Amino acid sequence: MWGVIFLRHRLLAGVSTPRRMRLYNTLTRQEEPFTPLRGRTARMYTCGLTVYARGHIGNFRTFVALDVLRRTLKHVAGFDVRQVMNFTDVDDRTIVESRAAAVPLRQYTDRFIAAFGEDAASLGLESVEAYPRATDEENLRSMVEMIQALESNGHTYRSDGSVYFRIATLPAYGKLARLDHDGMKPGARVDSDRYDKDDARDFVLWKATTAEEPTWDFGVGPGRPGWHIECSAMAHRLLDGSPIDIHAGGVDLVFPHHENEIAQAEGATGRTFSRFWVHVEHLLLDEGAKMSKSLGNVFTVPDVLERGYRASALRYALLSVHYRKQLRFTWGGLDQAEEALKRITACLARLEALRGGAAHAEVAARVETARRDFDDRLAHDLNVPGGLGVLFELVRYVNTAIDAGELGRPDVAIVRAAFDGFDRVLGVIALRQAEETLADVPVDEIERLIAERRAARARRDFAAADGIRDDLDARGILLEDTPAGTRWQRK
Ligand code: AMP
Ligand code: ZN
């Protein structure tokens, strides 16, 4: 008896025991137990968008997967998270595109940073603790400091005003990408930010000024940073030094970007740069091609929304395949995601409509098992498909129990608390509900409320008037008072 009561209280309060987290580490090619190095806070760096165009849904596959990692660290493993996600707002591509558009670099990249904010909000990405831009002065200065440390440690040389990293000075170079040292070309160097594994060479840390490129001079000569130094320096600066706990991005970044980041940070500090390296597999097009801006075969979040799909369905589709497996993007796949989401929301709606009946010990036991299993799946290298399997088993059970009259009103709260718990990690149900709230305010209701607000103001009941405005605001309707009367628009 008391056991059942305690269980119900625990389930209602949403309390669950933190799970031991296991994560696949690209560095060791193994799953390893994860705990933060310092206290309870996981310090994580995510390579963010190169803002030369609006991010595509391939980029967002990585960002959604890493959002699930962030939420799992918090809500399943019970850690705090300090996460940094940068914007690469100076590199080969941003420079070329801003010149082509004849817009100053900073102004050019501003618009794609704003677009990222919109898409991230549509997809329910949690805000991270810092979004540094490479061209912020304090970041440029920290890059220069790291280059100076590399110079004094003997890892660099200069040529024509540029500074290069000499890979032969670091025997560990290649440990992440598992490069074959025999294939490396000592002395040969590469200036471009992106190149292949076969082309492992000395790479540029600071590029000498040219007439076409923006330039800064903070101590290693006039020029601009190479792409790789940006992330090493920003991670170091904003996550309180090495080693950080987790460094993450898409698989295309393993080489050269992350290999070079390790070389720079470890060459400068003599300490391990990141304990864990997490890489998300690619989103592919149906035909198997990688979705990439440079190939021109991309869809953005607004492209998907224009076809009538909800962002919540896109988020579901992006997270439903394990992050270490490639995901083929199809419109049919989005339809399936939509169906899956509807099954969840329909079950929740049935629960809400339930009246009467008694509490059932069986329900509490089922919910307890589902919550435990869900957390176990997620803690095991983010097994989201496994977690969704557990969630849908609970959906099936709930539907059957309602049909059989074996689930009563007193059981509803604990079932709902379980779905809330799943959704703290998945972030799809709340997103769908927010979309419906926004979409659902009919025009005549808005106009009726505006009239009520006018009446409230006329009788000087400003509290009521403000209440109506705030309520509409929360439902996505923005009011603007003009001399001609109140106008409204959907946010
Ligand atoms: P970029 O803007 O190219 O620097 O990429 C931003 C992030 O998106 C990086 O973590 C990339 O690895 C990732 N990314 C790029 N293309 C894809 C793709 N097709 N699927 C998944 N992730 C991708
Ligand atoms: Zn990076």
In a domain? residue 53: yes
Q: Are residues 44 and 139 in the same domain?
A: yes
Q: Can you give the residue range of the structural domain that contains 144?
A: 39-153+168-180+226-294
Nearest CA to ligand 1 atom 4: 50
Quick check: 401 and 407 in contact, CB under 8 A?
A: yes
In a domain? residue 221: no
Ligand number nearest to the C-alpha of 116: 1
Distance 56 CA to ligand 1 centre (A): 8
Q: Which residues keep their CB under 5 angstroms from ion ligand 2? A: 47, 231
Q: Are residues 230 and 116 in the same domain?
A: yes
**Parallel, antiparallel, or unpaired for β 485-490 and 189-190?**
unpaired
Global pTM reads 0.90
* 439 three-state secondary structure: helix
Distance 443 CA to ligand 2 centre (A): 46
In a domain? residue 244: yes
Q: Which atom of ligand 1 is nearest to the CA of 327?
A: 20
Residue with tokens 């709260």: 413
Q: Are residues 146 and 257 in the same domain?
A: yes
Q: Are residues 349 and 238 in the same domain?
A: no
Partners of 158 in beta bridges: 163
Quick check: 55 and 300 in contact, CB under 8 A?
A: yes
What residues line ligand 1, using a CB cutoff of 6 Å? 47, 49-50, 58-59, 61-62, 88, 249-250, 252-253, 280, 282-283, 290-292
In a domain? residue 187: no
Any idea how long the chain is? Answer: 491
Single-letter amino acid, residue 112: F
Q: What is the pLDDT along the chain (491 residues), one digit of tens a residue?
A: 566 677 777 778 766 789 999 999 999 999 999 999 999 999 999 999 999 999 999 999 999 999 999 999 999 999 999 999 999 999 999 999 999 999 999 999 999 999 999 999 999 999 999 999 999 999 999 999 999 999 999 999 999 999 999 999 999 999 999 998 877 877 899 999 999 888 889 999 999 999 999 999 999 999 999 999 999 999 999 999 999 999 999 999 999 999 999 999 999 999 999 999 999 999 998 777 777 767 777 899 999 999 999 999 999 999 999 999 999 999 999 999 999 999 999 999 999 999 999 999 999 999 999 999 999 999 999 999 999 999 999 999 999 999 999 999 999 999 999 999 999 999 999 999 999 888 778 888 888 999 999 999 999 999 899 989 988 887 778 888 888 888 888 76
CB count, 10 Å around CB of 452? Answer: 13
Ligand number nearest to the C-alpha of 323: 1
Distance 331 CA to ligand 2 centre (A): 30
Nearest CA to ligand 1 atom 18: 58
Q: Are residues 278 and 146 in the same domain?
A: yes
Instruction: Give how many domains the chain has, as a whole number.
Output: 3
Using most ligand atoms within 8 A of CB, pick from 59, 67, 119, 261 the residue to mutate for ligand 1: 59
Q: Which atom of ligand 1 is nearest to the CA of 282?
A: 20
* Sheet of strand 274-280: strand arrangement: 80-85, 41-46, 244-250, 274-280
In a domain? residue 450: yes
